[in-house]
Structure 1
Amino acid sequence: MARPSTPLLSREQILRAALDLLDRTGELGLPRLARQLDVGTSSLYHHFKGGREELVEGLRGLLTEGSMPTGPGQGEGWQDFTRRWARGYRAAFVAHPAAVPLMTAQTVTHPSTLASYETLAQVLHDAGFDDEELLHAVTVLDNFVLGSALDACAPVEVWADSGRPGSPLSRAIRATKAQPGDRSERAFHLGLESLLTGLERLRDDR
């Protein structure tokens, strides 16, 4: 039987299907993905010779390209760039929280994602962070953003209101419910500003 003149699958089709599977089930197995696409598992390896690891890096790129900045704006200071970087990075994963554990389980190699990290590192370096501090600063920001993306998908009521008289937590829960807007979004901005203040102090103290 002759081969079809055009491929039945493309890398992007596979990645979109993989993301759909991950969103629905929280898992990413190649045999299950192949069944969803009605192909053999070997067809996936034809497009992703590195197997699951290469597929995960493809998903990383699918989620972050266009969201994570790869260059600072004209006259943009390090704090403003970091704010923009963190907002874009968080937005990439808020809608796909099941992808977060996959992304943290292997080395970042996707070119456009690496380019964004490189830009962040360059911006921080130019702002006066030395080599010993810089990777720790990037790690703290990375951990915070991914944690915040998971928090955005948490239940509306993260902590049960005990109703205990005088409970600071219960009072805080009720006060937060009365505030406009999204709790997770407000917490993200509070945490980001706190991190930037702490990083600035670290740099200046040194």
Structure 2
Amino acid sequence: MARPTTPLLSRELVLRTALDLLDRTGELGLPRLARELDVSTSSLYHHFKGGREEVVEGIRGLLSADGMPVSVLPGEDWREFTRRWARQYRAAFAAHPAAVPLLTAQTVSHPATLASYEALADVLHDAGFGDEELLHAVTVLDCFVLGSALDAGAPVQVWADSGREDSRLSRAIRATRAQPGDRSERAFLLGLESLLTGLERLRGSA
């Protein structure tokens, strides 16, 4: 039998299919992924010698390339860049919340993702953050964005409304429900501005 003129698989096809599988099922196993692609599991290892871990890291790179900034815009200060970095990062990962737990379970190593973190580190360093606090600042931002990306995939109503008029939580739930727009997005923007204010104070005390 003649060999196909084009490969049946490509890394991007595998990664896009894996991401779709995660979105639909919340799970990622190579045998199931192989069935989705109508190939053998060994064929996946031909493209991803590191197996599932390499596929997960490839998904990270896919999402990063689709959304995470790697350079400062003209005239952009550290707060403006960090705000844009966080918003684009959240948007990219909030579209695929099922991927977040897998991504946080292994070391970040994809070049596209590291390039974006490197850009953030450069901006914060140039703004006056020293080596002692810079990684902590990046970590706080990272945890906040990923947590918010998970929240974007949460139920519309996260907390049950008890219906009691004397319940502060239930009154807040009803008041928030009446507000326009997305609760998760509003909470993210509030938290981001609070973080930036805190980081400004940390920078000023350095």
TM-score of the aligned structures, taking structure 1 as reference length = 0.97
Q: Percent identity?
A: 81
Q: What amino acid does structure 1 have at the position aligned with 2:26?
A: G
Any conservation in 1 of the 2:66–2:92 contact (CA below 8 Å)?
no
Q: In the alignment, what sits opposite 1:159? A: 159
In the alignment of these two chains, the number of paired residues is 206
Q: Deviations over 1:124-176 (max 9, x none)?
A: 00001111100011001000001101111111111111122322111111111
How far apart, CA to CA, are the structure 2 residues paired with 1:67 and 1:168?
38
Give structure 2 stretches of 5+ with no counterpart: none
How far apart, CA to CA, are the structure 2 residues paired with 1:66 and 1:92?
7
Q: In the alignment, what sits opposite 1:68? A: 68
How far apart, CA to CA, are the structure 2 residues paired with 1:152 and 1:101?
14
Q: In the alignment, what sits opposite 1:191? A: 191
Q: In the alignment, what sits opposite 1:118? A: 118
Shift of 1:49: 1.4
Q: What amino acid does structure 2 have at the position aligned with 1:137?
A: A
Structure 1 position 144 matched with structure 2 position 144: yes
Q: In the alignment, what sits opposite 2:83? A: 83
Task: Single out whichever of 183-192 and 61-70 deviates more from structure 2.
Answer: 61-70
Give structure 1 stretches of 5+ with no counterpart: none
Q: In the alignment, what sits opposite 1:5? A: 5
- Secondary structure (helix, strand or coil) at the match of 2:67 reads coil
How far apart, CA to CA, are the structure 2 residues paired with 1:42 and 1:57?
19
Q: In the alignment, what sits opposite 1:40? A: 40
Any conservation in 1 of the 2:165–2:171 contact (CA below 8 Å)?
no
Q: What amino acid does structure 2 have at the position aligned with 1:174?
A: R
How far apart, CA to CA, are the structure 2 residues paired with 1:34 and 1:192?
40
How far apart, CA to CA, are the structure 2 residues paired with 1:83 and 1:159?
28
Q: What amino acid does structure 2 have at the position aligned with 1:100?
A: V
Shift of 1:6: 1.6
Q: In the alignment, what sits opposite 1:17? A: 17
Structure 1 position 103 matched with structure 2 position 106: no
Q: Deviations over 1:43-65 (max 9, x none)?
A: 00111112111111111111121
Task: Single out whichever of 120-129 and 157-166 deviates more from structure 2.
Answer: 157-166
Structure 1 position 29 matched with structure 2 position 29: yes
How far apart, CA to CA, are the structure 2 residues paired with 1:66 and 1:45?
25
